[in-house]
C-alpha cells in the first residue's frame, strides 16, 4: 500500500507540473502577439522600405509577426514624431500609423 501511495503522489505531482507548465506556455505568448525583432538581411530590407516610405527619420524599433502585418518598423521622424510602417513578407508597404492617430478625431484635429 505504501508503494501505491507514492505512485499516486508522484502522478499527482507530474500532473500538477504539466498543468502549470501549460499555463506558463500560454501566458508566455507563443501566439500572434509575440514581439520578436527583425534580424539579419530582413532587418536591412524592412528598414530601407520603411525609411523610403517616410522619407526621413531613423528606425527605432522593429517587430516580426505584428498583429497588423508581417513586419512592423517604427520610425522616429526628424521632428520627434513616430510612425509605425506595416510591411508584408515581400517588404511592400501595406500602410502606416502615426503615434496617437487612434486618439485623433475623424476630421484630423
Whole-prediction pTM: 0.61
pLDDT tens-digit series, residues 43-89: 999 999 999 999 999 999 999 998 889 999 999 999 999 999 999 99
Burial 56-75 (b: 16+ CB within 10 A, else e): ebebeebbbebeebbbbbbb
pLDDT of residue 85: 97
**Which residues, 6 or more positions from 58, have their beta carbon under 8 angstroms from its beta carbon?**
51, 75, 76
Q: Hey, which bits of 7-47 come out as E strands?
A: none
Q: At 80, list the grid cell.
A: 520627434
Amino acid at each position: 500500500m505504501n508503494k501505491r501511495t507514492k505512485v499516486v503522489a508522484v502522478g499527482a505531482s507530474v500532473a500538477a507540473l504539466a498543468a502549470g507548465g501549460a499555463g506558463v506556455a500560454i501566458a508566455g505568448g507563443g501566439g500572434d502577439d509575440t514581439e520578436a525583432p527583425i534580424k539579419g538581411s530582413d532587418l536591412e530590407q524592412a528598414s530601407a522600405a520603411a525609411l523610403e516610405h517616410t522619407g526621413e527619420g531613423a528606425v527605432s524599433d522593429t517587430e516580426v509577426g505584428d498583429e497588423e502585418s508581417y513586419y512592423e518598423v517604427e520610425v522616429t521622424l526628424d521632428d520627434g514624431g513616430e510612425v509605425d510602417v506595416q510591411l508584408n513578407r515581400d517588404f511592400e508597404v501595406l500602410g502606416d500609423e502615426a503615434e496617437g492617430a487612434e486618439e485623433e478625431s475623424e476630421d484630423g484635429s
